[in-house]
Amino acid sequence: MTRIAYLDGAFLPLADARVSALDRGFVFGDGIYEVSAVLDGGLVDNASHLDRLMRSLGEISLALPVTRERLIEIQKELIVRNDLAEGVVYLQVTRGAAEREFGFPKDATPTLFMCTQAKNIAASPSAATGVKVKSVPDLRWQRCDIKSISLLAQVLAKQAASEAGCFEAWMVRDGLVTEGSSSSAFLVLADGTVVTRPNSNAVLPGCTRKALLALAAEGAIRVEERLFTLDEAFTAAEAFMTSASTFLYPIVELDGRPIGTGRPGPVATRLREIYLDFARRDAADPANRP
């Protein structure tokens, strides 16, 4: 089946989607992206992702070239055209093609590119087995709250993890874990308390994290939003990661050392179930379906 993408007003085969070599996304990494999950053919927690998109765009003074309503229509049309049951809808907005000058161009039109990726999220084997994580230095800039397409530090972090046989990298700044290269980071203490770093300019405010913390509160699971060190992570009862493209994966090993029993723990397992339940209900809402 030919994958269909959206680029600047047109639906076309992904292989035919072309942008200018002078596009500022290509030349400067000057753009913003978002990733929304799709489950059973419906969007999951999409309003939260679009809110974060609008905030990120505002922080770099970039205008969305379509309305928010139109953006949702395109997301849904891509789900239909690609017959997507489960996976993600990716979107990115760049400042468009212009002569290579660092400052904002006066007359460039933003580029909007969107596509889908099929992915097994609900029944992912990694959710059952848990994943391994490697710690790396956090090499990123000081506005990690902006979902920038400039992802070189995360690319290097994920590659280092991959070369060590790990699924994810946990980035460490000043001895403190910030987050995963493309996920939010959590510990579970011996008494069942969930610990995660508070939102700030040092991390991306995860949409999955936000929804999960609300669900944890409803489920009377205690949460502490505070900084934590790598040493504390080594001695935690459990650890896990969240993102739109994984929902929640238990972490069973950090830098070659087992976390807790070395198997997915009960709190992570329960929270994944709670999130999956929420995601299924949200994806079934007619407002989130094509």
Q: Would you name the residues annotated as active-site residues? A: 147
Taking CB under 6 A as the rule, does residue 135 contact ligand PDD?
no
**SS3 assignment, position 9:** coil
For ligand PDD, which is the closer residue by CB, 135 or 243? 243
Taking CB under 6 A as the rule, does residue 269 contact ligand PDD?
no
Give the span between the Cα atoms of 194 and 51, in whole angstroms: 25
Residues 168-227 that bind ligand PDD (CB under 6 A): 179, 182-184, 204, 206-209
CB of 101 to ligand PDD, least distance (A): 28
Taking CB under 6 A as the rule, does residue 35 contact ligand PDD?
yes
| Residue (of 209, 138, 129) closest to 169 by Cα position | 138
**In this structure, are strands 31-39 and 87-94 parallel, antiparallel, or unpaired?**
antiparallel
| Residue (of 208, 204, 186) closest to 149 by Cα position | 204
DSSP state of 229: B
What's the gap between Cα 267 and its chain centre? 22
* One of 82, 111, 196, 242 touching ligand PDD (CB under 6 A): 242
For ligand PDD, which is the closer residue by CB, 82 or 182? 182
Taking CB under 6 A as the rule, does residue 148 contact ligand PDD?
no
Residues binding ligand PDD: what is the number (CB under 6 A)? Answer: 14
Q: Which residue is nearest to ligand PDD (CB)?
A: 208
Contact of 176 with 197, CB cutoff 8 Å: yes
Terminal Cα-to-Cα distance of the chain (whole angstroms): 20
Binding site for ligand PDD (CB under 6 A): 35, 179, 182-184, 204, 206-209, 242-245
